[in-house]
Structure 1
């Protein structure tokens, strides 16, 4: 074999070795599925300095659709955070719990469609009154939530939303209770892309939606005794999508994401989510929420309800000239997806 052939073969061997070494190097941060390796992910996690558990990417669907009549798919899923905790997204609620009553319709596109609050009172079935205290006052609650709520009074479940995602609806709930009493609500801004808090909207496949709830409580004489506002307490327990883990911050019990990006995108599969454990006794009247942040308030325009009959049919209730109820949520109505609000009526 002459020297030119030997040199040619040597060059081929060196080239093959280079290709192998290059591929090993380029794949060192990825696994066989093209996902980022644990070491690389852990380095990204170090950018986060808060108290939440952090997950990344899409959740595994566990319930395909809670409400097949809806225009959007209301699914449930689970995802494991980097500290090996399994979380239900968008929330672990009671929609499938038959013991938790559905709230009667104020306006439901797929159910009763009252044209006014007067009609709603006339059509209300007194068999749906929830008795907490037999000798209590009869209280009527009017609730519009974007998207889903579960309402507790002194720890007793009195009504849950009939539609978890869409279409938009509202409810009227009656219960008997002695004053003072404590209102506690689980609120959920549902998501189509489970685990990353987003939906198909505005031309994007990963667009962060918004939440918001407004409620009015009246006594037996139709006097308003409570409305949603900044005097309520509100805390978030699931925040997504988070594109950059360095953007969230915390100040005492405030879980802040006002510096985080809320624009839509065509691929959010690598986005992060923040999860906090919900206290087991949060529905109880004696739960200490004194350190929780005050609820943030939002206008009708910010929430986008001025074209929804489930709201506009009842502006005499929600937008009372003398006692206007405000939409409330936590500090970020776009990124915070699971929120608890509380208020005590004296």
Structure 2
């Protein structure tokens, strides 16, 4: 069982703490994605696992063995970087076999491993081509193949798709997802700033912020039940709307009154002692819908982004009521400068006090 376990791991540069108190257990067969804002330490954490950055405190175990002081080559890891870093004068076959040649693996065994990896990555027709004759996505697959032939315990990906254009990024993301399905026992750790990559690839997502872990969970757990306002606004695009309000009744029919007017939201499950608390009411843009009846928010549309499959409506902030964004399916040509009334299903609403979630949810919905 190839597990990766971090216990109270920290990283400092001189007197500056970058990461602290990192506790994480990555199980065999998982594809765990690290996400977070720029500078949060996600690539640093990955490099610490790889052995490219020294761990300041705590312990790192790979396959049950503490590897804090183990050289990278002896950790049983393989890393795929942003840059393909392929040798331009070598063929695909030679690039993939290079690490095996350095390790003096018998040529017959090395050839078998290269051909098996090429078959997995659908690179067999390109084995005798030079990198310049490949597309960007194919080059990234060669870089992944170079990792596969080493048969590592853990695969590390450091933003491997960031240098690709939009179309190639989508295609290569699908290929990585399919690769993981073909390698169900492989343990993978993946760093990205792209939410779509995180949501579609991850078994679990680790959200990093404020020098530590803000929340760990499956993609839908983070989307449906964020533990705090940071995760709520970081996961999802556009970000969750936050509207000030106050809990005015609790019990079977919990009621929240929003500042600035609007019909109160009822029947929101919350903690039992939440009565009277000032809260931020979180509503995702895709959960706001136009209504001809009682509205929780009515405002003037200041700007429209028509994306074809969806339309984003940006509402003007007025008084003590912030502006919001609504994400409506389809095309809404006449929405700009109009006044639109919005409502939301209380089951989709989130409540936060002092930045932390008050929402009580069942395990599944």
Same fold per superposition (TM over 0.5): no
Structure with bigger RCO (C-alpha 8 Å, 6+ apart):
1
Higher helix share: 2
TM-score, normalisation: structure 2? 0.26
